[in-house]
Structure 1
């Protein structure tokens, strides 16, 4: 019988790419999620019955154990940007990761892959970084030979980075960004998935920091996005002291409304994170150590950002017609 991998968060941005690759390699795939009915789109990744979404709550031992039972490998893709609520940094990225790894070890799983983030550090400047660092430590305690992947900002068709700001550019003449000079090293989502597959198969172990071939500031990334969507917008840097005030105000509003207002704009913790460059360390193992050639942003961005252009799919035709009129 084909081997079985359980992917926690397997219908998410990164998880779905790992699930697709594992199915193509002939593995049976369990996609462990909170809402299986919203993850039915993963089923066609394989033949009938090969890829199945199942219910799992990473805050509950019995639920996690049921999802892992009889698995040969486990991948944890679950993460959050929410500092509050039941599924906060600690519950998801520390305690949740620890629970999955511990139970996977108890169930005899042979390979474990954990998706973390560049900057993960138990003594990091933000609660996000600290919880990621704590989660890594817990995983390695249960699985010393686990693969830990630390990507920079991940881009791809379903990302919440370029898509978010491209959407904003439709409705405003100004793109406000905090930390405009902070550097990032965006990595393509399918490159992250390719790295994870090597860990699932037991062909790679250890910690890897994943970044693409391009290192750019936040401002430069926004300008590149604007060039792709063919819009002219002013990129306005929000000074950190102003960003702190904004983040604190939005956080307070979320607290005062009992979470009815969910702060998806800017949090104080995000401001702390934005003070630190998000690039691969000089001494880190990288995609190249795994034999994976990093995909450049220019090879991918136009494939999924074109809907944000003024004329959408007809932009090239519109521009050609304009050139003809001018000539």
Structure 2
């Protein structure tokens, strides 16, 4: 009996059939792997919200300030998103329109529940952690949100085989920060530093993005100064009158774009990026400019700023606000926020920034006037064109 053997990609054997010899191919072609390709992960479409770019991303903290911008930008390039939420679904459902039908999926989760985290990241190749807390509550302390939570997410991502993890941190995070307004080191800064270390221990190839003060719609930077809780009538207390603090704020859309660019670029693994604005400003100059934009200037409205150490009433006001509303301080008025406000942004040389991620940075002079327009004094006054001169922007400080 003659036999025929095929080499290479195909194997064959001879099987008698009604006295005739038939050739049956056993295996189809196997090239580089025995694993079946995941056809659902292939790119489809021509780009945009009605396409799929091959990325399935889980965004923790999707309903937060930065999260909404990140989800919109991910959906704009055709990313399938899995959005874990712990709030009422009516607060999360607005994110459904970020992507095409079926591209935005929701799942409830708790940062202390490992099973819900594993369910959220099981099918994702990119996980973005934006969960953060400006103030502590009786249920969640800084350590719970900034250290234990990121560690748990990073460990589960590693165990579930997630390819990329991007973690949003704080620019001035430090192991032992110097207290400025507080009597002891800031636990916000310490927990942010410990969170970075925890993520790196559990997921060594994670990408860390350290952001300075982020401004934009519904932020806690511009709107803190615009709030009536932060100011005494026309008098604003600042740490050392704002003359000892230099800020480099960054626009929220730029931070979101940097996160999206990092998710699409595999070369950003193991990297740390600084999310900072293009210019540095003295806090006193910034605050004066903010109030001038709100038509609350020194001459007509009576605005004054002063050193808060000479004000015995301000500490009582902060204590009262936190006593009345411990779960959500009115006007973001609490000591950790004031400590963060008084902190000078320290930029490390040699560490890449958002510009290295291909982000074209937004200048405050172009964006802030629009952000503060709803907070103008005499809002219902119909002013004539040119009646209110445009305030001069603050002078940038040298790097």
Normalising by the smaller structure, the TM-score range is: 0.7 to 0.9
Partner of 1:58: 111
Partner of 2:369: 302
Partner of 2:92: 39
Q: Map 1:1-327; keep pairs closer than 5 Å.
A: 1=40, 2-35=54-87, 36-124=89-177, 125-168=185-228, 172-178=233-239, 180-181=242-243, 182-201=245-264, 202-205=266-269, 206-232=271-297, 233-240=302-309, 246=315, 250=319, 254=323, 259=326, 262=329, 266-312=333-379, 318-320=383-385
Are the equivalent residues in 2 in contact too, given 1:98–1:138 (CA < 8 A)?
Answer: yes
TM-score, length basis structure 1: 0.87
Give the Å deviation of 1:258. 9.8
Higher mean C-alpha deviation, range 199-208 or range 66-75: 199-208
Question: Which structure 1 segments of 5+ residues have no match?
Answer: none
Aligned residues: 319
**In structure 1, how many angstroms separate the alpha carbons of the residues matched to 2:316 and 2:200?**
33
Give the Å deviation of 1:240. 4.9
Higher mean C-alpha deviation, range 261-270 or range 127-136: 261-270
Give the Å deviation of 1:26. 0.8
Q: Secondary structure of 2:305's partner?
A: strand
**In structure 1, how many angstroms separate the alpha carbons of the residues matched to 2:332 and 2:260?**
33
Question: Which structure 2 segments of 5+ residues have no match?
Answer: 1-39, 41-53, 178-184, 389-399
**In structure 2, how many angstroms separate the alpha carbons of the residues matched to 1:309 and 1:170?**
15
Q: Give the aligned CA root-mean-square deviation in angstroms.
A: 3.0
Structure 2 vs 1, CA of residues 24 and 119 (structure 1 numbering), >3 Å: closer, same or farther? same
Give the Å deviation of 1:183. 1.3
Higher mean C-alpha deviation, range 298-307 or range 86-95: 298-307
Deviations 1:234-275 (A, max 9, x none): 242344586898289728964xx8947857654444454455
Structure 2 vs 1, CA of residues 220 and 47 (structure 1 numbering), >3 Å: closer, same or farther? same
Structure 2 vs 1, CA of residues 165 and 140 (structure 1 numbering), >3 Å: closer, same or farther? same
**In structure 1, how many angstroms separate the alpha carbons of the residues matched to 2:123 and 2:63?**
20
TM-score, length basis structure 2: 0.72
Higher mean C-alpha deviation, range 73-82 or range 270-279: 270-279
Higher mean C-alpha deviation, range 167-176 or range 70-79: 167-176
Q: Secondary structure of 1:116's partner?
A: strand
Are the equivalent residues in 2 in contact too, given 1:244–1:271 (CA < 8 A)?
Answer: no
Are the equivalent residues in 2 in contact too, given 1:247–1:267 (CA < 8 A)?
Answer: no
**In structure 1, how many angstroms separate the alpha carbons of the residues matched to 2:158 and 2:250?**
30
Give the Å deviation of 1:304. 2.6
Compare relative contact order (CA 8 Å, sep 6+) and give the higher one, 1 or 2: 1
**In structure 2, how many angstroms separate the alpha carbons of the residues matched to 1:32 and 1:161?**
26
Give the Å deviation of 1:171. 8.7
Structure 2 vs 1, CA of residues 286 and 240 (structure 1 numbering), >3 Å: closer, same or farther? farther
Deviations 1:103-154 (A, max 9, x none): 1111111011100011112223311111001110111112222111111100
Deviations 1:270-295 (A, max 9, x none): 45445531242233221222222221
Are the equivalent residues in 1 in contact too, given 2:169–2:196 (CA < 8 A)?
Answer: yes
Select the structure of larger CA radius of gyration: 2
Are the equivalent residues in 1 in contact too, given 2:224–2:332 (CA < 8 A)?
Answer: no
Q: Secondary structure of 1:175's partner?
A: strand
**In structure 2, how many angstroms separate the alpha carbons of the residues matched to 1:5 and 1:123?**
34
**In structure 1, how many angstroms separate the alpha carbons of the residues matched to 2:76 and 2:59?**
15
Q: Secondary structure of 2:238's partner?
A: strand
Deviations 1:3-49 (A, max 9, x none): 31000011211111111111111111122221132111111111122
Structure 2 vs 1, CA of residues 26 and 265 (structure 1 numbering), >3 Å: closer, same or farther? closer
Partner of 2:15: none
Are the equivalent residues in 2 in contact too, given 1:90–1:131 (CA < 8 A)?
Answer: yes
Deviations 1:294-318 (A, max 9, x none): 2101111122321112354x77x61
